[in-house]
Structure 1
Amino acid sequence: MPRWFNTAGPCNPADHYMLPALRRLPEVRRLIDQKSYFVVHAPRQVGKTTALLSLARELTTEGRHVAALVSMEVGAAFPRDVGAAEAAVLESWRNATRSQLPPELCPPSFPEAPPGSRIAAALAAWTEAAPRPLIVFLDEIDALRDEVLISVLRQLRDGYRNRPEHFPLALCLIGLRDVRDYKVEVGDSDTLGTASPFNIKVRSLTLRNFTAEEVAELYAQHTADTRQPFEPEALARAFELTQGQPWLVNALAKVAVEELVPNTAQPVRRADIDRAKALLIERRETHLDSLAERLREPRVRHILEPMLAGLTLGDVPEDDLRFIQDLGLVRMAATGGLEVANPIYREIIPRVLANTAMASLPRLPATWLRADGRLDIERLMEAFMAFWRQHGQPLLSTAPYHEIAPHLVLMAFLHRVANGGGSLEREYAIGTGRMDVCLRHGPDTLAMELKVWRDGEKDPLDEGLAQLDGYLAGLGLSSGWLIIFDRRNGQPPLAERTHATTAVTRASRRVTVLRA
């Protein structure tokens, strides 16, 4: 039976290409040996469930413990009914343990208990009936909220003192967030802001991404099974685009080998990986959709918005910085400062934020195309200015991030151009005050530098020309656009102030300067 690249649910070595599950969590064994209660948190679909389900099976097979992974997720349907949530959770535990353990190691019938104590009572009964010390992995713990979450955490803390004879020897909470970031209404906050309901934890661990060598190792399993190689440039490109994010690594390969290069006699090339990336972004696969949902959360927005605008962050709480990194959206760059976690996220974030503007666009005839299908840069500029004068102002109000509203409306327009047979690439970095955009359409490439002129600042023309000069040099181009969005108060309407002029950079590159 052939194996495949898995993008849905836990991996099974009999069905899926996968790496040793615990390689990325080397500390877990020591914590269990030390009878610890601990937390494993990481973004969705990086392998948490796969790794800890595998460990539970290993521990049980070794014969010294009874170990199982059970989920808390079904309790999320009852955010304010503790008893109903507990009943749903315990029923799911019965089903999960039947599939993981032999009958003699499954938990006994869970005892009757008042609401608010049923989880602890079930764990106590299971521990007492087990022939060996019990280890439990509680998955999707942060799917619970409010009273239910607080109740469960307090039951675990209260039972902790009764271990190992009457409560699990070791226990792990698994979720997207660390304990202090669990969603719960506490005073004026919507998170715990503290680990106190579960202050028995010893450590919080984060599951890391794959390394470049591990991406190559994973893809080599497909080659071993099918003899279809990935060329070295394809392997390097896959890691470059994903930075080792496990779902993206698997998804790129899955699209490449199943859809783009199904003939295993042909190798997977760099161009195939790029085409797979474009398809994933276009389809907004489940993982990318769940990522998009996070962008409107206030704690995410007030970090991502200045990043996209190229501004400094200002006074951002340390918890929020840690939270957005834990979600996997951003990371600390090797040279310092935050950056978006990988190029695929970097491309999809502005695209998602521009969705409303894209949906609101009027019908735009492709006047920017010549008869031979090539891009006419002059007519594209004329089309954009006409569009901006007529539709720019109302579309600005559709952008979810105010600071970069003009950028997002421009992105919506350019996506309409790119959808006719091109691609759009974006580069942005914190504290640079800029966003670089590259429109590719067949053999034609147009590079743009986007700047914003705000109150109290000087005209960004000179700085923008210098920045665009460097961007054009990197792309090997002799001309480009500098677009300056004037966001100062008291300016004339967009229709009156939108105009284009020309300028020349220090390196003698010709620039069209659009003021909008």
Structure 2
Amino acid sequence: MKEFNVTGTCIPSQHYMVDIKDKLDKIERLVNKGKYFTINRPRQYGKTTIMFLLAQRLKDDYLVLKMSFEGYDQEIYKDQVAFIKEFLLTLIDKLEFLQEQELIDLIEEKIDTVTNMRMLSRLITKLIKAADKELVLMIDEVDKSSNNQLFLDFIAMLRNKYLLRKEGQDYTFQSIILAGVHDIKNLKLKLEPGQERKFNSPWNIAVDFKVDLTFNSAEISTMLEEYKKDKDAVMDVEAIAQEIYYYTAGHPFLVSKIAKIIDEDLDKQAWRKKDITKALKILLAEQNTNFSSLIKNIENNEELYNLIHKIIMEGEEITYNSDNPLIKLGELYGIFKNDKGIVKIHNKIYEQRIYNYMSSKLETSLEMTPYNFRENFVRNDGTLDFEKILNKFQLFIKEQYSNKDQDFLERNGRLLFLAFIKPIINGKGFDFKEVQISEEKRLDVVITYLDQKYVVELKIWRGKKYHQQGIKQLAEYLDLQSVEQGYLITFNFNQNKKYKKEVINYEDKEIYAVWV
């Protein structure tokens, strides 16, 4: 029986999968043209599955040698002879599976005499000439090897053979595909202490890999259609696919994970858009390797942490520049994307996970308990008294933050509210945030508590004109969320500010506003 898969290679006969025929078509054209390239994408981005499916597609026309360097012992990289022998033994393993005995015999005859890269190059030439088909070499997990000089010598040898083939002076692989997180063309080699660090480009023959591995909503629909037919499920496939894309931006792991949660944890026969919200709540509460890697990469780099904070908590609009190493690092980790020339967090689920992480760090550093004890804000019918929550938050800011704290408050004010609200809704509620880039740098928070929805806008005071525009925008957002009442927190950093409260009626909407 098929299932949604979020670990390892996806197998069409075992797993519900997105139809990626168009992506494979583009990659196959590169192979047919004899191109060498690197599929460099963040972890859990479907690289291994792409390599598997591509190998299956190419096997009729090419002899495909697909391997991984992940299992190579680090000691192998300290000795050229050992590395070469391990590589040749791996080739033998692959050729045995393909039943290419003639090529196996050729390698076994020479394996003990090949002691340097030049001799390995000559043996590869003999293999190419002896084979009935062109050979395609695929190496997965090259990051495990790419900081070793021996590995760089190895791909430099392959590069030289490629150039000689272009000149009609050698035979080599039809195409070589390397897969990993990093682009091998731009590696910084890790040398011994005291030695000069340098950039190495032994793979500058490779063409840029421009195939988008994320899934669009139409592609997600293909997976859902298969599931719907197989399970006789009830769903508006197009609407569900669009909703999944809205939150995931097509990230392969997240797409499959949400579908897996709805299928297995919620055990739904009929899928509704609200089930995606339930799945998000489950997903964001769990620990998995994807989220662990996300948070570890942020936690281990203070500059990256601060840049992310600027983007999602302070509403800063950062221009995308591919030469900026910090932006490229965030992109490498799958945290950033280039959205029409602006640096954005890759998807809304990552935004939410980062919000939760940052607000939790702040919550554990502050004493809020006298102010945000849950039972003080729950009515007899189980709903939240949200006006009371805002009033208490206003009191918390007023009593705990004096003028000397203004710099901290301006940077962390909205994060403070997220930390403040978390214990109140924890367990029974779910909050989702969206940054709206504008003069007021709004942060909209949609809180679902039991069956009730509360929409809160957090913004910085920029004067009466922008305030009126903000009221209009909030009313429009309330319409979008199908609620009649909204809430507004305005952070005013002027010295003569007043901690006031107001009920604002705008068209058919009622907005309860507090200033802090």
| TMscore range, shorter length | 0.7 to 0.9
CA contact (8 A) 1:80 1:146 kept: no
Equivalence for 1:295: 298
Per the TM alignment, residue 121 of structure 1 is displaced from its structure 2 partner at its CA by 8.0
What is the identity, as a one-letter code, of the residue corresponding to 1:71?
S
Larger Rg: 2
What is the aligned counterpart of 1:413 among 407, 420, 433?
420
Deviation at 1:424, TM superposition (A): 0.9
Percent of aligned positions that are identical: 21
User: Aligned partners of 2:346, 2:454: CA distance in 1, in Å?
Assistant: 26
One-letter amino acid of the structure 2 residue matched with residue 17 of structure 1: Y
- The answer to whether the aligner puts 1:372 opposite 2:381 as a matched pair is yes
Alpha-carbon shift at residue 227 of structure 1 (Å):
1.6
Aligned residues of 1:39 and 1:204 also touching (Cα < 8 A): yes
1:35 aligns to what SS in structure 2? coil
SS in 1 for 2:55: helix
Q: Which runs of 5+ in 1 are unaligned?
A: 454-458, 492-496
**Take 1:300 and 1:207, find their aligned partners in 2: how far apart are those partners?**
25
Match of 1:463 in 2: 466
Aligned partner of 2:277 among 271, 274, 277: 274
Question: 1:12 matched to which residue of 2?
Answer: 11
Displacement, 1:452? 5.1
| 1:69 correspondence with 2:74 | no
Query: Per the alignment, do residues 348 and 461 of structure 1 end up closer, same or farther by CA in structure 2, a change over 3 Å counting?
Result: farther
Q: Are residues 31 and 298 of structure 1, via their aligned partners in 2, closer, same or farther at CA, if it must alter by over 3 Å?
A: farther
Matched with 2:335 is: 329
Residue 67 (structure 1) shift: 0.7
Q: Where in structure 2 are the equivalents of 1:43-442 lying within 5 Å?
A: 43-60=42-59, 62=60, 64-74=61-71, 81=78, 86=83, 90=87, 93=90, 97=94, 101-102=98-99, 104=101, 108-109=107-108, 110-111=111-112, 127=128, 130-148=131-149, 150-161=152-163, 163=165, 167-182=172-187, 184=189, 196-232=201-237, 233-261=239-267, 266-296=269-299, 297=301, 300-301=304-305, 303-308=307-312, 309-313=314-318, 316=321, 318-320=323-325, 321=327, 324-325=330-331, 327-333=333-339, 337-360=342-365, 365-366=373-374, 367-385=376-394, 404-430=411-437, 432=439, 433-442=441-450
Q: What count of residue pairs does the alignment treat as equivalent?
A: 487
CA RMSD of aligned residues (A): 4.2
Q: Is the 8 A contact 1:338 1:430 kept in 2?
A: no
Matched, 1:480 2:487: yes
Distance 1:392 1:112 in 2: 75
Partner of 2:513: 512
Is this contact kept in 2: 1:252–1:276, CA < 8 A? Answer: yes
CA deviations over 1:326-353 (Å, ceiling 9, x no partner): 654344446x634333332332232233
User: Contact 1:502/1:510 (CA < 8 Å) preserved in 2?
Assistant: no
- Per-residue Cα deviation, 1:404-450 (whole angstroms, up to 9, x for no partner): 53433432222222214111111114565332223332354443333
Change (3 A) 1:56 1:392: farther
- Give, as a single letter, the amino acid of the residue that structure 2 aligns with 1:160: Y
Residues in 2 aligned to 1:114 and 1:498: alpha-carbon distance in whole angstroms = 78
- The answer (yes or no) to whether the contact 2:142–2:179 under 8 Å persists in 1 is yes
8 Å CA contact retained: 1:180, 1:193: no
Separation (CA, whole Å) in 2 of partners of 1:85 and 1:358: 53
Quick one: distance in 1 between partners of 2:92 and 2:11? 18
Q: Deviations over 1:313-370 (max 9, x none)?
A: 2685535456645654344446x63433333233223223334234546556312223
How far the C-alpha of 1:388 sits from its partner, in A, is 5.0
Q: In structure 1, what residue type is equivalent to 2:137? A: V
Q: Secondary structure at the match of 1:68?
A: strand
Superposition deviation, residue 217 in structure 1: 1.3
- Could you tell me which runs of 5 or more consecutive residues in structure 2 were left unpaired when the two chains were aligned: none
Q: Deviations over 1:223-244 (max 9, x none)?
A: 2222223334433322332233
TM-aligned CA deviation for residue 3 of structure 1:
1.0
Please report the TM-score for the alignment, with normalisation by the length of structure 2: 0.78
Distance 1:88 1:418 in 2: 60
Q: Which amino acid in 2 is paired with 1:480?
A: Y
Equivalent residue letter for 1:282: A
Q: Measure, in 1, the Cα distance between the counterparts of 2:295 and 2:117.
A: 35
> Relative to structure 1, is the Cα distance of residues 122 and 312 closer, same or farther in structure 2, using a 3 angstrom cutoff?
farther
Equivalent AA in structure 1 for residue 266 of structure 2: L
What is the distance in 1 between the residues matched to 2:501 and 2:8?
54
Q: CA deviation at 1:386?
A: 5.8
CA offsets 1:277-313 (integer angstroms, 9 cap, x no match): 2211111433333333343446754653332121232
Alignment partners' CA distance in 1, 2:416 and 2:22: 44
Relative to structure 1, is the Cα distance of residues 420 and 332 closer, same or farther in structure 2, using a 3 angstrom cutoff?
A: same
Deviation of 1:128 (Å): 6.3
Contact 2:318 2:342 in 1 (8 A): no
8 Å CA contact retained: 2:20, 2:219: no
Q: Which residue of 2 aligns with 1:494?
A: none
Deviates more, 1:420-429 or 1:114-123: 114-123
1:256, distance to aligned residue in structure 2 (A): 1.0
Secondary structure, in 3 states, of the residue corresponding to 1:275? helix
User: What amino acid does structure 2 have at the position aligned with 1:306?
Assistant: K
**1:171 to partner: Cα distance:** 0.5
